[in-house]
Chains A and B, each alone.
Chain A
Amino acid sequence: MMKFLGLLAILSGAVACTGTNIGGGGGVFSGYDTGVVADIAPVDVADTQAATSPDAADAFDAGKVVDAILDVVAPVDVQVGPPQICGNLNGPTVPGCCQCAAGKTCAPNGCYAGWYCNTQSCKCQVAPDPATCGSPILDAGPTDTGAPGTDAIASETSGVQSIGPTGGTLASLDFAIVGDTRPPNKDDLNGYPTAVITQIFQDVQAENPPLPFIMTTGDYQFSSPNSNAATAQFDLYLQAQANYTGMVWHSMGNHECTGAVISNCGTGNQDGTPQTYQIFMQKLMAPLGLSKPWYVLNFKAADGSWTAKFVVIAANAWSSEQATWLENAMSKPTTYTFVVRHEGVMVTTAPGVSPSAAIIAKYPFTLLLVGHTHTFDYYASDREVITGNGGAPLATGVNYGYTVIRQRADKALVINALDYQTHASIQKFAVKPDGTPTK
């Protein structure tokens, strides 16, 4: 009743407004004038570079190694490699001219097992030494296990800093977070935010000191789940990603399942393996050597002063298997623990959010890195950093951008959310390794 009276008040001129036609005034709504008011009528890696684990490094037959890796319950180690573009060599995630060997599942560059595509000879070869590509921080560590037509023997590269199968070594724990890159409307390839995500990857590439890797928080496309429409959108994403030469690890969003927040993909789960899921696994997971959308990364300091793990959860591919894996992964102590999941604490309708939260809560962690909500935000009480402003339709006043995390000498981490256009800081704060805020 009050509202109706309020409407009457407005319509009778209590709130001043001019009355013009809707197209002529230039204003949004020209307002409402006095008049007769009657009843308002309501109507109603493929293969894999993970084959560089200690066991796999001993393997001789690359194909067998790959198969073995794909058969494990969950991949546990992922290697940081050289830049994805190194001279005329295209890394696994960068489309190349190499032809995939028969019977193999290849990365977008046409190679498998993490090999690089030589764009001059169109033949696959082992990953290059990052030193030859100007990579400032990482080196390849143990590298390849095979390439098309070749039985390869794993080799190791020397270096003070190295990233190996059971843990990487970094000079400093610095990285970027990018999340949520999709058009507003389903299957709208023309609406894909190519310009935004391209700029973001270019921005991260230009960060100084350089950032050795990016962690993404999911939702790379918006497609009908049972068509192959996702392919083109993933390709646009990967083209944009090619502007960044470091390593990029991906996590799975709800749009990599059916699109619904409540959806749950994976063999044996209610939504099975729709095309969006399969294409995601093929385009973004397989090149990292991952056969499951959940995995853990391990890093350590070159001087031995810290350790870190990234526990990447797939809340839209939740299963008892993943729960067991998560419990095991979280139980291993490290100086820093980053839990990565697409949906944040306040998206409890996603199948894996509440169950994973129950497990996470039993262990210490530094930050929960999420996306889904198309903005940047930080909730200290939950140790949650939301980075979901990577091109998807924005839900708040925050502009598109990305987040940079850098380690300080005192081991605190500085989290800086940046506007992709102005490079201005959206929000900047610091936390200790246990996640508590600090100056």
Chain B
Amino acid sequence: MRLGALLFLMTLGCQQQPAPACPAPVPVTLPEREVALAVPRAPRPPVLAEHDDDAIWQTAAGTGPWKMPQSHAAARPYSNARLLWDAENLYVCLYAADQDIEAQGARSDAFLVQIQAEQPTAPILTLAIAPTGQVTELARLAIGLDAKWASEARVSMDRDGSLNDAAGEDDEEWVAFVALPWSRLGMEARVGLRLQLSLERCDVPKDGVQRCGAWHEAVMLAEARTSATNR
């Protein structure tokens, strides 16, 4: 069950790619110094408490609404993320509008998070985060997979709805507040650090149609700011 969401999303990810076979790992070709989303330093660590949305997230960088992978139209259902950092952690707040919050079976919900330092041989670190707060993870190295890698992520959840209810209650949303230790990401936090971040969520609302939304972009660590979240 723990692997279900990751498996599901990984399968989906592959389906987006029509290539006939999986080639050997390709060395990373770094893009030009493209514009990156500036992620401000957190004035203080966010409180990762259940059912709590710490006001510090208002100082975060926001991805805005995610897009559909193929058409790049606004994703339905809606998702977004907010990002902060400090010397210890990368903080990610993941929002999911969800009519039917599920963490079991074929309709299991999950966010899929991929992180990669902008270095040619940097591993791709992958986490699937379920509405229960459960994390399934692995690291893909240039020479294969390291399934022993553990992110040691701390996660708290805020669910507005009924998880796995058999009666089919109408749910509203769920939010994952995630702290990812830099030490486990293999990076040293500093202003100017750039990394590639890819976020995706697929969902099957009650109409039975699976839809996905994604956001992937370079991000760069920046100093703290005091103004409200950008979008």
Q: Interface residues, chain A, CB within 8 Å of chain B?
A: 3-4, 6-7, 10-11, 13, 15-25, 27-44, 184-191, 224, 259-261, 343-344, 346-349, 372-375, 392-399
| Band of interface residues on B | 35 or more
Task: Report yes or no: B3 in contact with A32, Cβ–Cβ below 8 A.
Answer: no
Q: Which one of A6, A32, A34, A397 contacts B76 once the chains associate, using CB atoms below 8 Å? A: A397
Does chain A have a CB within 8 A of B166? no
Contact status of A22 and B114, CB under 8 A, knowing A10-B10, A17-B22: yes
Say whether chain B's binding surface is mostly helix, strand, loop, or mixed: loop
Residue of A18, A22, A29, A44 with most partner-chain B CB within 10 A = A29
Taking CB atoms, residues of chain B closer than 8 Å to A38 are: 145-148
- Residues of B165-221 at the interface with A, using a CB-CB cut-off of 8 Å, are 167-173, 196, 198, 200, 205-207, 209, 211-212, 214, 216-218
Cα A188 to Cα B69 with chains together (Å): 26
Taking CB atoms, residues of chain A closer than 8 Å to B53 are: 185-186
Contact status of A34 and B22, CB under 8 A, knowing A41-B149, A188-B58, A375-B99: yes
Task: Report yes or no: B169 in contact with A347, Cβ–Cβ below 8 A.
Answer: yes
Taking CB atoms, residues of chain B closer than 8 Å to A187 are: 55, 58
Cα A105 to Cα B85 with chains together (Å): 46
Task: Report yes or no: A397 in contact with B17, Cβ–Cβ below 8 A.
Answer: no
Contact status of A3 and B116, CB under 8 A, knowing A28-B214, A44-B134: no
Taking CB atoms, residues of chain A closer than 8 Å to B147 are: 37-41
Nearest 4 Cβ contacts at the A-B interface: A35-B144, A29-B13, A23-B196, A17-B14
Q: Which one of A40, A261, A372 contacts B138 once the chains associate, using CB atoms below 8 Å? A: A40
Q: How far is the CB of B50 from chain A (nearest CB, A)?
A: 12
Does chain A have a CB within 8 A of B102? no
Does chain A have a CB within 8 A of B86? no
Q: Which one of A44, A188, A373, A392 contacts B229 once the chains associate, using CB atoms below 8 Å? A: A188
Taking CB atoms, residues of chain B closer than 8 Å to A186 are: 53
Task: Report yes or no: B78 in contact with A184, Cβ–Cβ below 8 A.
Answer: yes
Q: How far is the CB of B77 from chain A (nearest CB, A)?
A: 5
Residue of A4, A23, A44 with most partner-chain B CB within 10 A = A23
Q: Which one of B24, B134, B231 contacts A33 once the chains associate, using CB atoms below 8 Å? A: B24
Taking CB atoms, residues of chain A closer than 8 Å to B57 are: 185
